[in-house]
Chains A and B, each alone.
Chain A
């Protein structure tokens, strides 16, 4: 085909002209592609240069592109400014407690099971009751810790205590159903609870150290919230997706239909009532408001279910015949297979939380609990004239998503193709 074409053209134009024409076309295409790339990036490049200018220079007419003098100290100035929010114990404690609960849950599930020694050691009856007792104690303990640190509303003690108990019970239940070695379960539960306590203290200390109204605190808040929220969503969504794609149980079709139906509820509708509920639970200005209602979401479950349906089940059947429990299969076979989809979902959720504005604006409104987006919007309204510093703030916020994108662009792009479902 190519030869006939060349022959034809060589008669009329000569080979050189044809090649030249194609090269010019190609060069034009590259120039066009690069020009668009530059246009899309221009606002960022201009803003980046703007961060090094004096304020007068930033709003001068005619605007210049490069700064006259590179004021690197603009960045340090904004970063080090204390905007004067007092650190409140509620906020710091809630961040610590969420990190603690999260690490307890993950470590307990990861260490609570071994393939060996099934049926030996402590009998099921005793093991189960001790674990349930420990779960309730964990809830009581967190409530006690809350009232030790500050003087919270009773409703907060109840809701936080019950939430912690429920999550611990779920973890115990998951292990109990896998016919575990109970001695190991109890030991690993004690260990994970101790770890959870340490994590709580450490992250609370870090929050307090970062202070009330500084960029480092807002960076800390949003990083912690984004990571905890993305990973918990990953865990619970993948568990639900495993149930939907692999396990047989009564009511499966009904529940999946329910899942699809909840995905259709527009966020604008539940915005205000949800805020009222959170406010009545006294969760406003704490990490609970953004983490507990969003430990799992329908979109993630749907996406992972679709992914898992395309993965062959032979390996899992083999594992089952070898005596693995469903939780073990999920943990050791399914999760490694689903790694690309999990990474994609992690990136969607992390970015979703990092860039979230409306929820954070509603729920977090004391300076110590602001996240970067909220802080920037308040900063913009209070310091309307400090243009160069506003640009620095915008750049500080953009650095993290851009860096992650730089390393994981493939997963981002996969995620976009999926996230259309989110609606």
Chain B
């Protein structure tokens, strides 16, 4: 028998360890987690635990794969001394854009400028702002800005650029020229002068897209100074303006609007107001506010002014001149009479750029004795110092090859100069071209070197808008990109010993302005005070001078007889169509065209956004068989001087028959994604009269209907208020003087106890407001419709921009809109009432949430997302809103806005709503206000975040909030103080005093009879017209 072989599995088995024997019959070792449950306190995990762990592990791993949103809230490692998180800082500064000026206070949060307000300390702008100023903070965060210096299309370093520029500038043969807009900053002028001095023979040319050469030339001839006068509209009882849109776009509208509004305000103690005549072709913002407005053709303008001169001269002792007679001009005689009755307290202005015409205007003001009262040459204004003639000469010189180098200092003549095409052509013959533009625009695209300037909110600067009125600009943020202050660039290229512009500026203030005051003996204290205030008054000191090149202004005689023949030659008033250029309140000359807030701001007159268009009179529309409805309009072909343009039309009531209007500032090619290809560039359409470029063309202009449909993005398509007297209540001054309630529509309901006002009948018990009761009053008389409030609201409250298509879909988001109504001829027939008069009366009505005490929106919300606060506010709880839109339907004022789409972080809106779609753009958002999500309703909150902040600040100091401490963004921005906000429970507040005074006077509720009991009062519109001439 064979011996059995033995195999063993391991040494343990061979040795027959007791351990092994013990475990031999067990298939699985004990420590494996296979038992169903732990055995009496045994360590280790059960199979169930294993499953649990695996389940958790898998789900955790899966969840981890989902991308969590990256929050970019990075805490300060070292807290800057003057930055407290969530607490805003305010810095006084200056808005400067060519010759446009505004003294401002910049609100910053965590080092980011987020809002621009007016500076109350400024005597020039007195705390007023404009839409352009309000919107400028977004231009800071414009992604289209250059992120560093560029040489020949390639990014370079600053030192490289400086080397190249210095070398090339030095070696540039021929003439060297610096081109800029009007320079309003004395220190900038000094920096330019430094470069001029470093390279003797260098010329500095200033020009303005909205030129005032005519006025400068006239003033030079009459007063020896090529400067603008300083106007004081507040002293004028009678104002006659010929095409000068001084409330909207002409020279310094913020200042003028402020002054003008003081003459338009009425109250118990002041029952008189100025009378305003406007003679113009396009319906301008100013014309819309006039008491008497007469449409005239631009080719008549000189003659009409001449006739006014004759009418005045006949009674005021001047010599009459032989101006060609025109057809009877309505209201001209009346204007002359009123002017004569208000000698020394009247004002005639003209927007003409013809020196001869401006000279006649000067003569009229002289005859009326207005110099020294309503306007003065003793205090020069420097808003316009440019000479288009000088730029014209540059083009000729360049074409002739005489120019070796050009520096374009923050200007864009390849776009906004009337002869841009010839300039572009001529530039090819210039060897060295340098630009300091902040982006690759039409001009800098042609430049060899671009040394991008800071945005004004990143810059140091100063300004002298009027003689003796100085202001400082200070950076409110560290430069976002690798840009450099243009003045530093100029100083560097000049080889100056001081190239830091801040030091340069400081030393200039030390030299020139420190000595003008005696308040501070220490310069640092003086500097700090000036910087803190933002403004400095130094009576009698002037650092700026007249236009850079005085000799370039046309020679114009003062003899009216000679002027008459010049004017008669130039103004013949043909039969053809005449084209009038104008600036839009929002877009202006087009420098901020890439700002979507401005593009989407409805034009105060046409209520159109995102476009320019030809405004045509009603008569022309019916001739050409063009009808417009709901933004649907026709395309026309406009031919000017042989050049054709396709553009849509707007049938504009008030447009002078035989004229058409078009806004400049559009048709940009290289402004950026927002503005490019919008509209048509109208600058080349300008013509020359008497040697000056003028904003009209009475030459060969034809308009041809193309019979093609086009849709404009208009926010208001209905023109009249349909005779609804509870909406617009107006009267004429004489009626008001007799009865302060003149024009009020006092509705009474029939009841069993006789007629009663709706206030007396209610099913509701009303709300109790034990603490505050916020109310607002809007004075329709001083509201000029400029829409600064609309933009201010948009900035403050993170209101999204929706773009052209969504405006076409009637879904703009503005919380505050300005309703513009025209009067109609017919007062009974509903169909006829829809048509505006040919030359209508215009009324502007800011419309925002009325914060009704019996709010119809509040009762219908199924989820209580909109409720009433104990302070009278109608509140929106965005988080609770499910978006039924019932509240918006039931709002009689239609002020609620719905988030139809997700406007933030959405590719669809990235191009237009830049403030909510890029990291850079989002820096402008107000952190105190929620960015609303899709599907929720939003509306005016009365700036509840400001109310809360004001109350908290007061509580910290153990007191009640003071009147004026808490203000809404709209009221704050208003250049005419037409909006008043405050606590009606505070008997000393302005608002409660106003309500006390005016409830038996001009104060009314819109739609009073439906008894929603709004918290906003409107004050009736009073026109200074003669009684019999009013349109009902």
Do chains A and B interact in one complex? no
